[in-house]
Amino acid sequence: EAERAELVERIKRLLRERDAVLVAHYYVDDSLQRLADETGGCVADSLEMARFGKDHPASTLVVAGVRFMGETAKILSPEKRVLMPTLEAECSLDLGCPADEFAKFRAQHPDHTVVVYSNTSVDVKAQADYVVTSSIAVPLVEHLRDQGKKILWAPDKHLGDYIRRTTGADMVLWDGSCVVHDEFRSWALEDLRSRHPDAAVLVHPESPREVIHQADVVGSTSQLIAAVKDRDEPEFIVATDKGIFYKMREAAPDKTLIEAPTGGESATCTSCAHCPWMAMNDLVSLANTLEDTAEPATNKIFIDEDARLKALTATQRMLDFAA
Ligand code: 13P
Ligand code: SF4
């Protein structure tokens, strides 16, 4: 415990010395979320992380999350140094949508407006008309639908299916999924609900359709935390990564929070409602990143300028729409 306190103090000192601010996602370890709060950084969903990093005056952003979040920070702030505790923190959606394969899919639907989820590489974003996060996907697609646009969506098929059902837009979907949310089981959720009939069900839209069908609230991580705070129910069943419980408990300490059931018994479940890549972020890897003064630093985000400019256009459209 004393060692841990010393590590935290060292990180705080390094953040000051390096003119760095910590931008953390709700799924990373509690210790990193706490540190971000204590040091004037932020803990947020993907859209808010992007905004915070762009607007903050620090010359270095340290992004605790997965790689696409660090890349988004760099797309929006090329003049800043963007570091991550590890560059190995990937995302199954990003990995499941290689840029060259995506180019072929796009070529099959040349008359479609290309909308991609933020959970993609810079080279996929560079091929898009719009980037969206889960918090803004539905209103943005409604807006495009009203203009009569047909939409090509990638990579998350569950989120795409949810957007299509909600907006009625004409959409073709890439076949990708999140290893964490894909594990929620609708039959097990039904069973749990029958034992907690008064609980509200909160679901992230990367979850399967039958799980979303049972939701009282479908939303981004920030929207789900707001629901715990704002709604009257004393009990909530939560279908998203369990890292979110840290902020949910803080937002509503007197409410009961229950994890939605996953296919924990299946051989494929190695994550069980905790993203294995988010879990790679910890205090030690953060301290090592901040201590590394080599140039280029090992965990520094670098993006090709041509791809960045193309990805920026699609990403900036999201920020302008959300404003
Ligand atoms: P949010 O934008 O809702 O934070 O989601 C990001 C993510 O990766 C969910 O799995
Ligand atoms: Fe990607 Fe899923 Fe992890 Fe989010 S939880 S970063 S979508 S693998």
Q: Whose CA is nearest to atom 6 of ligand 2?
A: 91
Which residue of 134, 274, 318 sits with most ligand 1 atoms within 8 Å of its CB, as the best mutation to test the pocket?
A: 134
Ligand number, closest to the Cα atom of 275: 2
From the alpha carbon of 44, which atom of ligand 1 is closest?
A: 4
pTM: 0.95
Ligand number, closest to the Cα atom of 45: 1
CB 156 within 8 A of CB 177: yes
User: CA-to-CA distance for 5 and 35, rounded, in angstroms?
Assistant: 11
Domain at 93-173: CATH architecture: 3-Layer(aba) Sandwich (3.40)
Q: Whose CA is nearest to atom 1 of ligand 2?
A: 91
Helix (H, G, I), strand (E, B) or coil at 237: strand
ipTM computed for the complex: 0.98
181-259 is a CATH 3.40.50.10800 domain: yes
Reference 300, options 71, 126, 146, 121; nearest CA is: 71
- pLDDT tens sequence across 108-148: 999 999 999 999 999 999 999 999 999 999 999 999 999 99
250 pLDDT above the threshold of 50: yes
Q: Say how many Å lie between the CA of residue 37 and the centre of ligand 2.
A: 22
Stretch (H or E) spanning 200: strand 200-203
263 pLDDT above the threshold of 90: no
**3-state SS track over 108-136:** CCCCCEEEEECCCCHHHHCCCCEEECCCC
What are the two backbone dihedrals, phi and then psi, of residue 298, each rounded to the nearest 5 degrees?
-60, -40
Domain at 2-90+278-301: CATH architecture: 3-Layer(aba) Sandwich (3.40)
Reference 156, options 206, 101, 215; nearest CA is: 206
CB 148 within 8 A of CB 125: no
Q: What residues does ligand 2 touch, defined as CB less than 6 Å away?
A: 66, 91-93, 119, 178-180, 206, 241, 275, 277-278
280 pLDDT above the threshold of 90: yes
Q: Say how many Å lie between the CA of residue 221 and the centre of ligand 1.
A: 6
From the alpha carbon of 181, which atom of ligand 2 is closest?
A: 2
Amino acid identity at 223: Q
Which residue of 25, 269, 278, 281 sits with most ligand 2 atoms within 8 Å of its CB, as the best mutation to test the pocket?
A: 278
Reference 117, options 86, 101, 138; nearest CA is: 138
Q: Which residue has the tokens 């999350």?
A: 65
- 60 Cβ below 6 A of ligand 1: no
User: CA-to-CA distance for 155 and 176, rounded, in angstroms?
Assistant: 5
23-27, 108-112, 224-228, 290-294: range with lowest mean pLDDT: 290-294
Q: Say how many Å lie between the CA of residue 230 and the centre of ligand 2.
A: 26
Domain borders along the chain are 2-90+278-301, 93-173, 181-259
Percent of the chain with pLDDT strictly greater than 70: 97
With cut-offs at 50, 70 and 90, classify the pLDDT of residue 294.
Answer: confident
- pLDDT tens sequence across 12-62: 999 999 999 999 999 999 999 999 999 999 999 999 999 999 999 999 999
